[in-house]
C-alpha cells in the first residue's frame, strides 16, 4: 500500500510537470500524448524508489510533501539531461537551442555532448554525495545559515544552467538569475521542519522551486511564449483553447500539495 501511494504521489508530480510544459509548448509544437505521458510515467517509477531509499512514508503528511518535491526534481533533472545531451532533433524551430550549445552555437558532435553529459551528471551526483556526507558527519538539527546555504544549492545549479542556456540569446537578467537560489533557500528553511536530512531538504526545495517558478512563468503570463519559442509563430492556435482543459487538474494538484503542507505543519 505504501508503494502504491508513493507511485500515486509520483504520478501527480509528473502530471504537474507535464502540464506546465504542455501549456507553454503545445501552441508551437502541437499536443503529443506520448510527450505528455512521459513525465508522469517516469515520476511514477521514481517515487516508490525514492520512498524506499529515503525511508519516506507517504501516509504521513510531512513525508508526502518531501516525496513530491524530491520526485519532482529527479524527474526534471533526468528530463533535462536527456534533452540537453542525448536527444537529437532539429534545433531550427527554437529561438534558444535546447541541445547543448556554447554561446548559442549548438554542439553538433554527439560524442562531445555525451562526454559533457557524463561530466555534468557526475557533478550532480558528486554534489548529492557531498550533501549526504555532510548529513552523516554533521548530524542535525542544523543552523538556519547552513540550511539556507546548502538548501539553495539546487537553485544555484538551475540559475547557472539557465544563464548558460538563455543569456547568449536573450541577455543576462539579474533578477531572473537570483530568483531560483533565493526561492530554494526559502523552501529549504520551511522544509527543514519536516526532516533533519539536509539532502532531502535540498532536493525537495529544488523541486518546489522549479514547480513554483514554472507555475509563475506559465500561468501568470499565459500569452508570453517560452524563451525558446520567442518570436516563433504559433503553428497550432487551437491549442490555446484546448490546453485550458488541463488547468483544473493542475490547480487540484497544487491544492493537494498545500493541504499536505498544512497537515505537516499541524503535525
First vs last C-alpha separation in the chain: 22
Three-state SS at 56: coil
- Specify the pLDDT at position 139: 76
- Specify the pLDDT at position 203: 98
CA distances from 123 to 28, 156, 204 (A): 33, 13, 19
H or E element at residue 126 = helix 110-137
- Specify the pLDDT at position 227: 66
Q: What is the DSSP letter of 140?
A: S
The pTM for the full model equals 0.93
Question: What are the grid coordinates assigned to 10, written together?
Answer: 509520483
- Number of domains observed in the structure of the chain: 1
- Specify the pLDDT at position 23: 95
- Specify the pLDDT at position 267: 66
Rounded CA Rg of the chain: 18
- Specify the pLDDT at position 167: 74
- Specify the pLDDT at position 64: 98
Q: How far apart are CA 242 and CA 263, in angstroms?
A: 34
Using 50 as the pLDDT threshold, list the residues of the chain that sit under it: none
- Specify the pLDDT at position 173: 80
Domain that holds residue 124: 2-266
Closest CA to 149 of 118, 188, 98: 188
Amino acid at each position: 500500500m505504501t508503494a502504491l501511494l508513493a507511485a500515486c504521489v509520483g504520478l501527480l508530480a509528473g502530471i504537474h510537470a507535464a502540464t506546465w510544459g504542455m501549456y507553454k509548448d503545445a501552441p508551437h509544437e502541437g499536443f503529443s500524448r506520448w510527450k505528455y505521458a512521459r513525465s508522469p510515467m517516469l515520476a511514477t517509477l521514481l517515487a516508490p524508489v525514492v520512498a524506499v531509499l529515503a525511508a519516506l512514508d507517504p501516509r504521513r503528511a510531512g513525508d508526502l510533501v518531501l516525496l513530491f518535491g524530491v520526485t519532482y526534481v529527479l524527474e526534471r533533472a533526468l528530463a533535462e539531461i536527456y534533452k540537453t545531451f542525448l536527444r537529437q532533433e532539429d534545433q531550427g524551430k527554437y529561438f534558444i537551442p535546447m541541445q547543448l550549445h556554447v554561446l548559442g552555437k549548438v554542439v553538433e558532435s554527439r560524442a562531445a555532448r555525451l562526454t559533457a553529459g557524463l561530466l555534468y551528471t557526475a557533478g550532480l551526483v558528486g554534489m548529492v554525495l557531498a550533501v549526504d556526507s555532510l548529513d552523516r558527519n554533521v548530524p542535525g538539527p542544523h543552523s538556519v545559515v547552513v540550511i539556507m546555504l546548502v538548501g539553495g544549492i539546487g537553485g544555484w545549479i538551475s540559475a547557472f544552467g539557465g544563464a548558460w542556456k538563455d543569456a547568449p540569446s536573450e541577455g543576462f537578467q539579474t533578477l531572473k538569475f537570483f530568483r531560483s537560489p533565493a526561492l530554494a533557500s526559502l523552501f529549504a528553511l520551511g522544509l527543514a521542519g519536516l526532516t533533519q536530512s539536509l539532502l532531502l531538504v535540498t532536493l525537495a526545495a529544488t523541486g518546489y522551486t522549479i514547480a513554483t517558478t514554472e507555475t509563475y512563468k506559465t500561468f501568470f503570463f499565459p500569452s508570453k511564449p517560452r524563451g525558446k519559442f520567442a518570436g516563433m509563430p504559433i503553428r497550432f492556435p487551437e491549442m490555446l483553447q484546448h490546453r485550458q482543459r488541463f488547468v483544473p487538474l493542475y490547480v487540484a494538484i497544487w491544492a493537494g500539495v498545500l493541504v499536505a503542507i498544512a497537515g505537516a505543519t499541524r503535525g
